Amino acid sequence: MYSTYKFWRKKPDEKHMLTALRHQVAQDASLHFYIFFKFETLQKFSDMTHQYGGALLWHKDFTDTPLGFLFRKPIIGLVEFDCSDPKSDPAGAFFHSLNTALGSRVMVSDDPTFPDKAKPLLTYDYSPATFIGTEEEKPKTFNITDELINAGALLTYRVEIYDQPVGKASYWMEFLCVNDSRDELY
């Protein structure tokens, strides 16, 4: 199904993976570069997309839900970056703050319907308690990476800061999952 690669990267070199990925996507017009973000306000989405050259495809606001007060970042959304545009900086958007990078997820797909397919998956992953549907429709086991790959993602990327090596507080743990059934990015 997919291969997972985990590796440490020094925080000062944080943008290397996404910069290389951006250049790869820019070479193929059928590929699309998406980042899933969580923010406190919709204005933060507007500011980020304006500053880093992205386009907000959809967003979901949990502030009006019964459990909305529990969310530190109640607004989620999917942003697409045109990698052929020199003003586009998805790596800068992803890493513009520690809190933005943690919990954000990069996805590359060649399926034009991917954003619509990803919306319910990312929404459910972020807030399973707000699922609206019958018990039969509710996912029994849910792995967001499996679901995104099945929905058409060629790869996913995220970072974490847990389990850092002793004395290595300046490292990220990067997770890259590549769809094995597709070879476009090899």
d(CA 15, CA 21): 10
Parallel, antiparallel or unpaired: strands 2-10 and 54-61: unpaired
Domain boundaries, the chain: 2-179
- Has residue 183 got a pLDDT over 60? no
Parallel, antiparallel or unpaired: strands 153-160 and 105-109: antiparallel
DSSP class of residue 104 equals: -
Which of 157, 159, 145, 160 shows the shortest CA–CA distance to 185? 157
Do 37 and 82 touch, CB atoms closer than 8 A? no
Query: pTM of the entire structure?
Result: 0.89
Q: pLDDT tens digits, residue range 157-168?
A: 999 876 666 666
pLDDT of residue 186: 43
